[in-house]
């Protein structure tokens, strides 16, 4: 009987994995922001033309605080949405979001969505930090900016899968 419990598929494992990745994404964003802030000059270029010439420049502190505010607003919205979802009463026979299985899947999806947003913010901060360092090859690094959007596309396909499953 113990063997069955250990190897049985469990919703809590997926939820815990997504929660762990989301928490790890908080720490990674914080590390990226601290690294970028420490390595940037007084003025930060965040918009470049095709030749790599800076078109838009902002103060280092403005960049730091704008990054923090954007990060916090996005995560506060996701956490607030999670709290609202968790308050909805559900049962196994419920329809729509009142179905316990769908509700738990949507909660896991929102946690993962927040983690993916954080990964996107992290890659953007890293990319801006690298763009402002003149000695690096940016052709190689520019591929990493697509990590977030690709993950986001896959995550929305996962949402479609969640919503298309027939529930009892």
Q: Is the confidence at residue 160, as pLDDT, over 70? A: yes
> What DSSP string runs through 131-156?
HT-TTS-HHHHGGGGGHHHHHHHHHH
pLDDT digits (tens, 9 = 90+) for 48-84: 565 556 566 778 888 888 899 999 999 999 999 989 8
Distance, CA of 100 to CA of 81 (rounded, Å): 17
pLDDT digits (tens, 9 = 90+) for 90-106: 777 767 667 777 888 88
Q: How confident is the model at residue 37 (pLDDT cuts 50, 70, 90)?
A: confident
User: Helices 100-131 and 147-164: crossing angle, nearest 10°?
Assistant: 170
User: Helices 11-39 and 100-131: crossing angle, nearest 10°?
Assistant: 20
Report helix, strand or coil for 57.
strand
Domain ranges of the chain: 44-164
């Amino acid at each position: 009987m113990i063997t069955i419990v250990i190897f049985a598929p469990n919703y809590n494992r997926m939820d815990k994995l997504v929660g762990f990745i989301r928490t790890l994404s908080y720490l990674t964003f914080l590390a990226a922001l601290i690294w970028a802030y420490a390595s940037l000059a007084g003025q930060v270029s965040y918009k470049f033309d095709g030749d790599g010439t800076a078109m838009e420049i902002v103060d280092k502190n403005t960049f730091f605080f704008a990054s923090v505010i954007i990060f916090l607003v996005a995560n506060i919205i996701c956490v607030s949405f999670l709290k609202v979802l968790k308050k909805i009463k559900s049962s196994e026979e419920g329809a729509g979001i009142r179905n316990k299985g769908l509700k738990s899947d949507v909660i896991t999806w929102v946690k993962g969505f927040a983690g993916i947003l954080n990964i996107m913010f992290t890659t953007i901060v890293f990319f801006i930090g690298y763009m402002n360092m003149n000695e690096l090859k940016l052709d190689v690094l520019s591929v990493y900016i697509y990590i977030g959007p690709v993950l986001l596309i896959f995550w929305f396909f996962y949402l479609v899968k969640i919503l298309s499953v027939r529930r009892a």
